[in-house]
Structure 1
Amino acid sequence: MSSYIFPIKTAMITFPILAIFITIPFSLYQYRKYGYINIFRNFILYSFLLYLICSYYFIILPLPSVTDVRSLQAEGTQYTQLIPFNFIIDILKESTVVISKPSTYINILKERAFLQVAFNGILLTPLGIYLRYYFKKDLKKTIIITFCVSLFFELTQLTGLYGIYNAPYRLFDVDDLILNTFGGFLGYLIAPLFTYYLPETNTLDDKVDLQNLKVSYIRRFFAFYVDWFILGFIPYKDSDLIMQAIIIFLYFIVLVYFTNGKTIGKALFKIKIKGKHEKLSFKEVFKRYGLLYYGFFGINKLLFTTGDLNKIEYTNYIVIIAIIGITINLLIFIHFLLCMIKKDNRLFYEKFSDTRNIIA
C-alpha cells in the first residue's frame, strides 16, 4: 500500500508549485476564451491537473537511486511483456482462492497480482470521466485518448524515463495498455453517476453578463505583471530616474492614449481603460497614470533612494521622507482594503481621473 501512497504524497507536494507556474498562462487562456474566470471551471481543471500528476507519478515512482540501473539488474532481464491477457495467468498462479470454498474469495483482495490488475484498471478511469463530462468527448475519442495516454506511460517506462536511466526499471506490459484503456472506457460509462448533480459545462457561461462584469483585481494584477515584465527587458540603470520617467510616459500614457486604453498586458487579458467618452482623452490618461507612477510610486522611489544617503546632514530629511512615505503607503493600503470591502474596484487614481477598467 505504501507504494501507492508515496506517489500521492509527492503529487500533493509538487502540485502547488506547478500550479503557481501555470496560473498566469492558464488565466490568460480563460480570459481570452471566456472573457472571465469561472471558479467552478477552475476547480475542475485544477483537479484534472492534480489527477494527471498523480497518475504520472504512479508509473514513475519510486525512482531508482542510481542512473546505472542496468548494473543492478540480472542478466537477461525482461523489459517487455507482449502477450495479451497474461495477467489472468499471473492471478491464477498466485491466487489462494479455492473455487469450491467461497470463504477464500476474500483472499484475492490481498493478492499482489490481482491488486496490480485492479490498479491498472482504475488508473485511467477518472480520465474517462473527465473526457466525457468536461471535454465532451464521445466514446470513440475517449478510448483513443485513453489508449494514447497509456501508451505514453508505457513508453516512459520502456525508455528509462526518456534516457535518464540506462535501462528500463519497469516492465512495458501490453496488458497495462489493455487494462488502462478499459479503465477509460469504464470511466466514460459511469461518468453520469459522478456528474449527475454537477452543472453542465456548456452552460457555465450562459448567465454571465460580460458587459457589466467588473474587472477583478487579480486580472488587473496579471496585466500589470506582464507590462512590467516586458519593460524589464529595456536596458537602463535603476538610478536613472529621468529614463524611467520617460519609459513610463511613453508606455503607460502615450501608448494607452493612442490604443484607446490598452497596454500589451491589458490587451492580452482583454481589458482596457474607459473614460467619460468612447475615446480616452490624453488628460484622462495623464491624470490616471501620472498620479499612480509619478505620484504614488514616485514617492516610494524617492523613499528608497534616500536610504542610500549616508551623510549625517541629511538625517533629518531622510526621517521626514520616511515618515511621509510610510504614512502614504498605509493610507493607500487602507484605501485598497476599503475598496475590496465595498466591492468598489476603482482605486484613488481611477476616481481622480474618472477612468475605470472594463472588459474589452
Structure 2
Amino acid sequence: MFQSYLFPISYAFMSFPVAALVFTLPFLVVQYRRHGYINKIRAIVLYLLLLYLLNAFYLIMLPMPASRHNAAPTGSIIQHIPLQFIQEIRRNSNIDPGNFLSYFSIFRQRDFLLAAFNVVLTVPFGLFLGYYFRTRWVVCILLSFGLSLLFEVTQITGIYGFFDHPYRIFDVDDLITNTLGGILGYRIALWISALLPRIEQLDSKVDHSAKRVTYTRRGIAWMLDLPIWMIPFLTLQSWQLQGAYWITTAVYFILLPCCTGGRTFGKWVVRIRISSRDGCNRLWGLTVRYVLQYGVLIGANVFLTTPSLLTSLPGPWTGIPYTLVMLLDFMFLVHLIIRVFKRNPLLVYEQWSKTQNQITWPHKQQTSAENLADNSI
C-alpha cells in the first residue's frame, strides 16, 4: 500500500522544478511589492508550500485511467454516510474482545490506513495556515474543508470533464478526515511556533534604504516594462514611421520617469526608482543614462537590423559594424559579470550618468540598520 504512495510523490518532486520556475516570477513581484525585499525564510516556507500542494495533488489524482474514454463506474459514485469508515474498520477487523493484543490489528487494516492517510494529507496544510498565514481556527477549518472539497469535486468530475467518467468516488468521510488533518496541523503550528522565527517579525528590523537593489529586481522591472513599451513601438512600426524605436524609447524611459519621480511601470511594481546622485538634474541624468543604455548598447544591435543602412556601405566595409557591435556586447558582458561578482550594482552607464536605482518604501516602515541581518537575494 505504501508503495503506491511513492509513485505520485516521485512525480511531484520531478515536476517541482518546472512549477517553481513558473511560480518564481509572480513570487518575486509580490514579495518586492509587499515587503520591499526577498526574505530567505519566507521564500523557503512558500516554496515548501508549493512542493506540498504538488504532492497532495498527485497523491489524490494518480494513478489516472489509461485513456480519456474510461469506463463508467459500476456502483455508486457518492459515499454520503458520515463516518462510514469506522463501520468498515469494525467489520473488517479480526478483534477478539478477550485478547487485548488483537486490537493492534486495526492499525494494519486497510480502511484505517486510508483514513489515517487522509488525515495526514492535510496536516501540512494546517501547519502553513497556522504558522505562515496566521489564520484563525475558523478560517483554518473552512480552508481545509474547501481544499478537501476541491479534491473530491475534481475526482468526481473526471478532472472537470477531461475523462468521460469519474474514476474516484466522492466520499464524505474524506471531507471529514481532511478537515480534521488541517485542524491537527493548525494546532501543531501553535505548539511549535515558539521554536520558529515569527513570520510577522521578519521585517521588523529591516532598513529598506540600506538594501541593495539587486540585478534580479532590476531585471523583473525591465521584463514588466518591455511589453508596455512594445505596444506603441509595434504600432508605430506598423505605420512605417521612421525612428519608432527612438521615439518610444525616449518617451517611455526618459520623459515618463522624469514626470513620475524616476519610475516606469515595472519599477513602480517592484518599488524602485531612478535617482540622481550628487544633486544632478534628473532629466539630464535620465537622458545620459538611457542614451548610453538604449542608444549605444542596445541601439547598436538595433542598427544591425536595419538593412538599408548596412547596404549603403561599400562592400568591404559591411563586416566592420558587425565586428564592432559584437566587441561592444562582449565588453559589456564582461563588465556586467565583474559587477555581479563584486556585488557592485552600478554599471557603466549609471556611473557616467550619475544615476542609480533606489528602493522606494514608506518612511514610516523604515527602521535603524543596527543588527540588520542580510536576508535578501
Which TM-score applies when normalising by structure 2? 0.85
Output the amino acid matched with 2:42. Answer: R
AA aligned opposite 2:140: T
* 2:317 is the counterpart of 1:334: no
Q: How does 1:254-293 map to 2 (within 5 A)?
A: 254-276=255-277, 280-293=281-294
Paired residues for 1:1-360 under 5 Å = 1-69=2-70, 71-74=71-74, 77-96=75-94, 108-192=106-190, 194-234=192-232, 235=234, 236-237=236-237, 242-276=243-277, 280-303=281-304, 314=315, 316-360=316-360
Report the Cα distance in structure 2 between the residues aligned to 1:24 and 1:307, rounded to whole angstroms.
39
For the residue of structure 1 that corresponds to 2:243, the secondary structure is helix
- Write the letter of the residue equivalent to 1:26: F
In structure 2, relative to structure 1, the CA distance for the partners of 1:102 and 1:305 (3 Å cut) is farther
TM-score normalized with structure 1 length: 0.89
Q: In the TM superposition, what is the alpha-carbon distance from 1:225 to its structure 2 partner?
A: 0.7
Distance 1:294 1:111, change over 3 A: same
Aligned residues: 356
Work out whether residues 262 and 273 of structure 1, in 8 Å CA contact, stay in contact via their aligned partners in 2: yes
Distance (Å, rounded) in 2 between the aligned partners of 1:310 and 1:6? 61
Q: Helix, strand or coil: the match of 1:62?
A: coil
- Displacement of 1:296 in angstroms is 0.8
Q: Structure 2: which amino acid aligns with 1:29?
A: V
* CA drift at 1:313: 5.5
**C-alpha separation in 2, matches of 1:33 and 1:194:** 26
Q: Distance in 2 between matches of 1:256 and 1:27?
A: 23
Alpha-carbon distance in structure 2 between the residues aligned to 1:191 and 1:329: 52
Residues 261 and 155 (structure 1 numbering): CA distance in 2 closer, same or farther, change over 3 Å?
same
Aligned to 2:370: none
Please give the per-residue CA displacement for 1:34-73, whole angstroms capped at 9, x wherever unaligned: 111212111111211221122122222222223333x343
Q: CA shift at 1:177, angstroms?
A: 1.1
**Cα gap change, 1:16 to 1:310, in 2 (>3 Å):** farther
What 5-or-longer segments of structure 2 have no aligned partner? Answer: 361-377
User: Percent identity at matched positions?
Assistant: 36
Question: Contact 2:137 / 2:183 at 8 angstroms: preserved in 1?
Answer: yes
In the alignment, structure 1 segments of 5+ residues that lack a partner are none
Alpha-carbon RMSD: 2.8
Moved more, 1-10 or 241-250: 1-10
Distance 1:134 1:271 in 2: 27
Give the CA deviation at 1:341: 2.2
Output one character per residue of 1:294-349: Cα deviation in whole Å (capped at 9) or x when no partner. 111122233455799689963x4344333322322222122112212222111111
Task: For 1:194 and 1:119, locate their aligned partners in 2 and report how far apart those are by CA, in whole Å.
Answer: 22
